[in-house]
Amino acid sequence: MAVTLPPLAPPTVPPPRPAPEEDAYASWYRAVLGWTVVGGPPAQLATGIRFDVLELPSDAGAALLRRPVATGPVALMGRRMRFLVAAGSAEELDGLLDWLEWGGVALDLAALGAGGRITAPVPPGHCVRDGSPRGAAVWLRPPEQGCEALLPALSGPGQGAGPGRVGAGPDLVRLVSAAATECHRARLRRRTPPRSAVAGPSRAGRVSP
């Protein structure tokens, strides 16, 4: 009499373990800053809990960093720069842009708030390992413990431009205004050909008849 054996269960493949440095990165954010780390690898930082993010092109962000505008921590990932702002600020961006008369202008300026996430940059003091992907996230202005209390936020009445709540850190309105200006300038620069291309060959390169 033939005996029917049950089908063999497929072997269970354990999920890939993150690299040791990824564990160290996530542990640093959790233990030192108390931030929420989700997903990975690479580790992701949840937005909308301890901070929101103002994101813009890196060329506009570099120009913004040269301006006398106070900011919080700033990270770079590829061609995008991320400015940390107070939690809840993402919901205010569209209204602020309208109030600043930038509404309807294509700026490539975005905000990440509740439900969003960003790739965790390499923590301060940690070396970027060899073989890291090009454009890995890095801190340009790294965060410190308790920095959330000093992130750009809307000022209260009599404390700065625009309506809003009391904030102990830099003024969000000034940061958004400067960011919008630099995004617009960067967009115009990308659309304008170099002056040499418009002028054509220089006189020194021409041959006299």
- Average pLDDT of the chain to the nearest whole number: 82
Residue with tokens 């060899």: 130
Segment (H or E) for 184 = helix 172-191
Is residue 67 within 8 A of residue 100, CB to CB? The reply is no
Nearest to 36, CA basis, from 133, 149, 114: 114
Q: Looking at the predicted structure, is the pLDDT value of residue 127 above 50?
A: yes
Q: Across 20-137, where does the E strand assignment appear? A: 37-38, 44-46, 52-57, 74-77, 80-85, 110-112, 117-119
pLDDT the model gives residue 13: 52
Q: What is the mean pLDDT of residues 116-124?
A: 94
Q: What is the mean pLDDT of residues 57-74?
A: 97
Nearest to 186, CA basis, from 72, 107, 92, 69: 107
pTM above 0.85, yes or no: no
pLDDT in tens, 137-176: 999 999 999 999 999 999 765 444 444 444 456 899 999 9
- Kindly report which listed range (12-21, 58-67, 160-169) carries the lowest average pLDDT score: 160-169
**Distance between CA atoms of 105 and 115, rounded to whole angstroms?**
26
Residue 12 pLDDT grade (very low, low, confident, very high; cuts 50, 70, 90): low
pLDDT the model gives residue 191: 86
pLDDT the model gives residue 125: 79
pLDDT in tens, 171-192: 999 999 999 999 999 999 988 8
Q: What is the mean pLDDT of residues 57-79?
A: 97
**Distance between CA atoms of 85 and 61, rounded to whole angstroms?**
14
